[in-house]
Structure 1
Amino acid sequence: MTFAATVLTLYPEMFPGPLRLSLAGRALEEQRWSLETVQIRDFATDKHRTVDDTPAGGGAGMVLKADVLGAAVDHARRISPEAPVLAMTPRGEPITQARIRELVAGPGVTILCGRFEGFDERIFEGRDVEQVSLGDIVLSGGEPAALAILDACIRLLPGVMGAASSGTEESFEDGLLEYPQYTRPQEWEGRTIPEVLRSGDHAKVAAWRKSMAEADTRSRRPDLWERYSDARDRPASGAQEKD
């Protein structure tokens, strides 16, 4: 089944953009995924095709109108009734690799791209739209974030990556950052590949990689390390704690 992506945007010409290249581009040609862009402005009802208005209560910038957004989302749902709708906004829940895998397991995704000061809040009250963020940054619009979300999904589709393990032995898949990687030459500017990686002992290599992944996560991402430690120390499901 083809993974169907629908993007609601004021700038449909930004797609597929970089997704027409490399693995994603080849997968698009092979019809492993499909892309449809929807121009939000097409759902404006006035002669000027107005999609935004000034913020209620005053303030700088403009806000995307709920009536226009609602009509655009309704149209997207008719295209892909089963696909979840994600709105890209810095006020959203940070996306995770686990959520990406959930999306990949489904029929596709619809992504609503914001602009200006964001969305009229009533779109989230009146429609089933999931608010999603790439992280604690602010972009000029949701389109770059949508491209990132789609790329994260596409690379995990069956047959897109050459080696199946490429999608599992990497950062965030087991709650940790990925271990450090090395390749030839064996020595560069006086720095050598760690001896354990040249030992041929697969058990020792696996243990080293796990240790390094834990050490790097602990030092670089204490938030991830805390969640990983909590999950690791939690009793297995159904297990009874002893007094």
Structure 2
Amino acid sequence: MQIDILSLFPEMFISPFAHSIIKRAIDKKLLSVNFTNPRDYTYDRHHQVDDVPFGGGAGMVLKPEPFFRAVTAVKKHIPVDKKSRTILLSPEGTPFSQDKAKHLATYDSLIFICGHYEGFDNRISEHLAEEKISIGDYVLTGGELACMVIVDAVSRMLPNVLGSQDSAPTDSFYNGLLEHPQYTRPRQYKDMSVPDVLLSGNHAYIDKWRQEKSLETTYKNRPDLLDKLNLSANQRALLEKIKNDCT
């Protein structure tokens, strides 16, 4: 996948993308990340990217010309046969989710537009971006942090990026539920023990336990997620047992 990020502060991405999974994906050429500064596409010698809003008001608004020109330049390097998407990070966007991460991972190319200051000229929002995404109901100084979150989540969905092909499907939210509890050595720590079922070697029994614990964790911590799921008959029976045990 090719990812292009338009940002007035591209240096913010240096450390987050230089470590862990994203770095390994870049090193293995499973992912390429490029940065474009809209200041390089301004008309004036001061490289001005913002201006006062028409109609008055506080703050400065990002001008349309630098962003339109920057996106045009980026798209020249994307083959026409590649599936591409231009995304604006915005509080008014669709809430980001695991399903959205899986969907975005089906593209060959993603272009992210990060804002700053008071916001974008609406022509950027309405005519340049193909989609607007928000990572939550709060306001950040700029779109860079939101972009980092989305790139990290999408990268995990790409083939061969994670160490095991089974890692992503067991993540929280992948199938709509929170992940089951995990344990590792030592078996006994102070007065806390690893559940015996995980040491039994009976994988059918372990899978059943994990399904039940996944449902239990979701029910206790995010019951709202259960309303969105089409649970199987077996899952519904497990959920009823969990509810009875919790009362």
TM (norm. structure 1) is: 0.86
Q: Is the 8 A contact 1:97 1:173 kept in 2?
A: yes
What is the SS of the residue equivalent to 1:165?
A: coil
In 2, the alpha carbon distance for the partners of 1:128 and 1:64 equals 14
1:10 counterpart letter in structure 2: L
* Partner of residue 217, structure 1: 218
In the TM superposition, residue 61 of structure 1 has moved relative to its aligned partner by 1.7
In 2, the alpha carbon distance for the partners of 1:22 and 1:210 equals 29
* Partner of residue 174, structure 2: 173
May I ask how many residue pairs the two structures share in their alignment? 230
In 1, the alpha carbon distance for the partners of 2:134 and 2:8 equals 19
In 2, the alpha carbon distance for the partners of 1:149 and 1:165 equals 21
In the TM superposition, residue 124 of structure 1 has moved relative to its aligned partner by 2.4
Cα displacement string for residues 77-136 of structure 1 (whole angstroms, at most 9, x for unaligned residues): 223354201111222111122221222222121111111122122212222431111122
What is the SS of the residue equivalent to 1:227?
A: coil
2:156 counterpart letter in structure 1: R
What is the SS of the residue equivalent to 1:137?
A: coil
In the TM superposition, residue 232 of structure 1 has moved relative to its aligned partner by 2.9
TM (norm. structure 2) is: 0.85
* Partner of residue 119, structure 1: 120
Cα displacement string for residues 35-81 of structure 1 (whole angstroms, at most 9, x for unaligned residues): 21111112222222111122333332222122332222222222335
In 2, the alpha carbon distance for the partners of 1:13 and 1:217 equals 38
What is the SS of the residue equivalent to 1:36?
A: strand
1:75 counterpart letter in structure 2: A
* Partner of residue 129, structure 1: 130
In the TM superposition, residue 165 of structure 1 has moved relative to its aligned partner by 0.1
Aligned-residue sequence identity (percent) comes to 39
Of 60, 63, 68, the residue aligned with 2:58 is: 60
Q: Which 5+ residue runs of structure 1 have no aligned equivalent?
A: 234-243
In 2, the alpha carbon distance for the partners of 1:196 and 1:223 equals 29
1:11 aligns with 2:9: yes
Q: How big is the alpha-carbon RMSD for the aligned residues of Structure 1 and Structure 2?
A: 2.0
In the TM superposition, residue 172 of structure 1 has moved relative to its aligned partner by 0.9
Q: Is the 8 A contact 1:77 1:83 kept in 2?
A: no
1:73 aligns with 2:71: yes
* Partner of residue 161, structure 1: 162
* Partner of residue 147, structure 2: 146
In 2, the alpha carbon distance for the partners of 1:177 and 1:62 equals 41
In 2, the alpha carbon distance for the partners of 1:137 and 1:204 equals 42
In 1, the alpha carbon distance for the partners of 2:222 and 2:123 equals 35
In 1, the alpha carbon distance for the partners of 2:226 and 2:53 equals 40
* Partner of residue 105, structure 1: 106
* Partner of residue 240, structure 2: none
1:103 counterpart letter in structure 2: L
In 2, the alpha carbon distance for the partners of 1:151 and 1:103 equals 12
* Partner of residue 205, structure 1: 206
In 2, the alpha carbon distance for the partners of 1:178 and 1:55 equals 46
Q: Is the 8 A contact 1:88 1:112 kept in 2?
A: yes
What is the SS of the residue equivalent to 2:84?
A: coil
In 1, the alpha carbon distance for the partners of 2:132 and 2:188 equals 47
Of 15, 23, 35, the residue aligned with 2:21 is: 23
